């Protein structure tokens, strides 16, 4: 089968198109899936450059989103049959989604929403499940809460805006000025141009000095130390970005803030909640661009390049 293989860690140049053996069912609970589309996540290029050396052995097929159809099932599989449309995240540390076929356990699968294309569905599993974890499981967001989503135009941010709005929150977000109308269309009540405005000052002005109940961090940098100045007393900050260096959290201490650190993970239970929101029309994946799998190097360059010709808006998808 066709696959993108990483034989050495490094930049996008190490992503090589190759022919590899098609996996076959060896366990009664396994399912073989024909991959129709996948998507690119920061986790993909982190694996590619060697951030998780202890969890992988070269060569690697990376990728953490799949939409496709069931081709074959093991003898013990009762809930799936060939022809079923599915979407899911491969288990972290195992074979990834940049391949024509993927072998997985039936417990990872979710039924693909009928109102999505394969390309749209591929944008959902990892980011959608992560957002549910951040907003509901960790922050315990409820109707009437105020939330600031830092980085609303990204793959996680575009889901976070929609899901937070569907749960009844008042949504603030940051984004490039030319994306303001699109971010508002997703459900953002207030959009702050972080290139020309200080988001802390803007939040303080909009909330009369109270701050927001919840902050979602998809940016990193000094956000963990700075953002509590925009947080309400006893507020919550949830981040999925690792900490590059020690930070002073004195502002968080003053606010009695709670921090949650979320490592993007695969959870079928959380994806089910997002599926229902998609099927009801409350959430729709946002696609930045679609590349053929053969053009994966340029796709990786787009997500990593800080000097893009146009701002990133939503998920980058690879079509097979």
Span 207-265, pLDDT tens digits: 999 999 999 999 888 888 899 999 999 999 999 987 777 888 889 999 999 999 998 76
Plot region of 246 (φ>0 → left; ψ -120 to 50 → alpha; else → beta): beta
Burial class (CB within 10 angstroms; exposed 0-12, middle 13-18, buried 19+) of 197 = middle
Cis-peptide, bond into residue 121, ω within 30° of zero: no
Q: Is the pTM of this model over 0.85?
A: yes
Q: What is the pLDDT of residues 105-119, one digit of tens each?
A: 999 999 999 999 999
Query: What whole-number distance in Å separates Cα of residue 34 and Cα of residue 56?
Result: 23
The pair of structure tokens assigned to 294 is 């053969």
Give percent above pLDDT 70 in the chain: 99
How many residues appear in the chain?
320
Query: Over 70: is that where the pLDDT of 267 sits?
Result: no
Query: What whole-number distance in Å separates Cα of residue 155 and Cα of residue 165?
Result: 16
Q: What is the pLDDT of residues 7-49, one digit of tens each?
A: 999 999 999 999 999 999 999 999 999 999 999 999 999 999 9
Query: What whole-number distance in Å separates Cα of residue 108 and Cα of residue 203?
Result: 40
The answer to whether the beta carbons of residues 59 and 5 sit under 8 Å apart is: yes
Q: Computed from CA positions of residues 274, 279, 285, 291, in that sequence, does the dihedral angle turn out positive or negative? A: positive
Query: In 3D, which of 3, 5, 27, 23 has the Cα closest to residue 14?
Result: 5
Q: What is the pLDDT of residues 278-290, one digit of tens each?
A: 999 999 999 999 9
DSSP states along the chain: -EEEEESS-SSGGGEEEEE-PPP---STTEEEEEEEEEEE-HHHHHHHHTTTGGG--SSB-----EEEEEEEE-TT--S--TT-EEEE-PPTTS--SSBSEEEEEGGG-EEPPTTS-HHHHHTSHHHHHHHHIIIIIIS---TT-EEEEESTTSHHHHHHHHHHHHTT-EEEEE--GGGHHHHHHHT-SEEE-TTTS-HHHHHHHHTTT--EEEEEESS-TTHHHHGGGGEEEEEEEEE-S--SS----HHHHHTT-EEEE------HHHHHHHHHHHHTTS--PPEEEEEEGGGHHHHHHHHH-SS-SS---SEEEEE-
């Amino acid at each position: 089968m066709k696959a993108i293989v990483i034989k050495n860690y490094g930049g996008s140049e190490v992503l090589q198109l190759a022919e590899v053996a098609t996996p076959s069912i060896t366990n009664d609970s396994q399912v073989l899936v024909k991959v129709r589309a996948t998507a690119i996540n920061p986790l993909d290029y982190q694996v590619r450059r060697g951030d998780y050396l202890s969890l992988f052995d070269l060569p690697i097929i990376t990728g953490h989103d799949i939409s496709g159809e069931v081709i074959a099932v093991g003898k013990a599989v009762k809930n799936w049959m060939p022809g079923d449309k599915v979407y899911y995240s491969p288990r972290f540390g195992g074979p990834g989604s940049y391949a024509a076929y993927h072998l997985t356990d039936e417990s990872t699968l979710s039924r693909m929403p009928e109102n999505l294309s394969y390309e749209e569905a591929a944008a959902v599993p990892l980011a959608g499940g992560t957002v549910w974890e951040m907003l509901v499981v960790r922050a315990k967001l409820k109707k009437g809460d105020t939330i600031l989503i830092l980085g609303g135009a990204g793959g996680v941010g575009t889901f976070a805006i929609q899901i937070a709005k569907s749960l009844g929150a008042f949504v603030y977000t940051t984004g490039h000025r030319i994306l303001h109308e699109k971010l508002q269309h997703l459900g953002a009540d207030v959009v702050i141009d972080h290139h020309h405005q200080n988001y802390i000052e803007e939040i303080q002005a909009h909330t009369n000095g109270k701050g927001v109940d919840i902050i979602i961090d998809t940016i990193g940098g000094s956000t963990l130390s700075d953002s509590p100045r925009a947080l309400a007393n006893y507020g919550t900050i949830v981040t999925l970005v690792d900490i590059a260096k020690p930070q002073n959290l004195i502002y968080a201490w003053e606010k009695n803030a709670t921090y949650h650190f979320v490592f993007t993970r695969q959870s079928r239970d959380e994806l089910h909640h997002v599926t229902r929101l998609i099927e009801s029309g409350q959430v729709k994946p946002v696609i930045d661009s679609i590349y053929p799998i053969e053009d994966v190097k340029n796709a990786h360059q787009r997500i990593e390049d800080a000097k893009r010709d146009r701002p990133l808006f939503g998920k980058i998808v690879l079509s097979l």
